[in-house]
Structures are given as C-alpha cells and as structure tokens.
Amino acid sequence: MRLIVFDFDGTLADSLSIFIEATNRLARDFRYEPLSPVQIELMRKLGIQEIAQELGIPKWRSLCYLQRFRQELTRSIDDLALVEGIETALHNLKSEGYRLGIVTANSRRNVEYVLQKYAIDHLFEFIYGGQILSGKRRTLKKLARLKATDPKELVYVGDEINDVKAAKQVGLTSIAVCWGFNDRTVLAEKTPNFLLEHPDQILQSLSQGHLSLESA
C-alpha cells in the first residue's frame, strides 16, 4: 500500500504570512532589515541556506536563529490555518487506502496542535517533527526501511525545493505543490515527478499517473 508523506508548513498549513511575520520580528535581534514585498518574492525563489545568506545570518548563528524562529512560530500557532482544500484531499486519499504521514522541520507539538484543532490527526500514522535540511533526507530513507516500503512506493509532498531534493536523493516519488513557499518556476527547475496547483490534484496524480510536470 502506497505511503504518502507530507511536509507540514506551506503544504498542509497555510504558513507563508506567519513565516514572513516571524522573519520580520527577528530582524532587529539578528541585524537585518525587515522584508519588503520585493524581497519576499525574491525569497520565494531561494532555498533555506540561500535565504540565510541573503539575510546575512552567519553560520555560527544559524542554530540560534532556527530556535528563535520556532519560538515565533509557536507564538502564532493559533493563527495557523490549513491550506484550502487540503482536508478534503486528505480524507479522499485515506478513503482510497493510502497511508499518510508527516515529516517536517516544525515541532511535533505544533503539528499535533493544528491537526487536533481541525480534527484530522487520526488520518496520520506518524509525525516526525524537527527534521531540518539534510535531516529530511535521512528521515525519509529511514522511513522506507522501517515501514518496509519500496522507495518507489513512498511519496513525499512538499512546497520547497529542499523537499524535492530530499525525495529525489532517496529515490522517492516527489510531488511539489505551488500553494506554499517556493514559487512554481523554481520548483519546476528541480524536476519533481508531479507539480500541482491544487490539493485535489494529489489523488488524481497518484491514481491516474499521467498528471506530469508538463501537464500540471
């Protein structure tokens, strides 16, 4: 049975505005300018490491920044809503027999809070929180082994170029979604297996197998 693993922020949860607000609240402490609308559009074309460089955060402060950023996200957790249409998509996937899980850089506690708030926590077999950068790749590789799943039968759904990279490095099917952080152009450049515009296309792409990068 195929296992579908989701990123959380930007994929299941509509986090973009909260991410921007958190980034701007930390600007003074980490000595960078709050993001302008032009900079926000630029950031949506970059990966995590490139964003840190653009903000001028030195590597030795990156861990501290990440910890503070997570604290800011937790402060705004009550404002976090699900992506429009994702609840229906998840229920449809579950009713078709797909197994669902989550691998995310956000904390497990935050994810569980939001899932319980919307009464969809029962849809997921597991949540691996706090997985950052290359940690997602390691976790996805371990998942294929622990769940006795052929990597080809494991799908990772995410909204960032790092999600596509992690899936491809492990040999998984990669679904990139255009409703999250990175924009469509930069996601397409990373050649995911599927590039989707709306949550209801997830089931279509898996069941029909013809919703390719070119046709999405």
The residue assigned the tokens 């299941």 is 12
Sign of CA dihedral 96, 101, 103, 104: positive
Return d(Cα 156, Cα 142) in angstroms, integer. 13
Return d(Cα 87, Cα 27) in angstroms, integer. 34
Task: Supply 71's token pair.
Answer: 């604290």
Return d(Cα 136, Cα 196) in angstroms, integer. 21
Angle at which helices 134-146 and 161-170 cross, to 10°: 40
Note the Cα 122 to chain centre separation in Å.
20
| CB of 213 closer than 8 Å to CB of 191 | yes
| Whether residue 163 lies in the annotated active site | no
Other beta carbons within 10 Å of 58: 10
Catalytic member of 7, 9, 14, 159: 7
**Which residues are part of the catalytic machinery?**
7
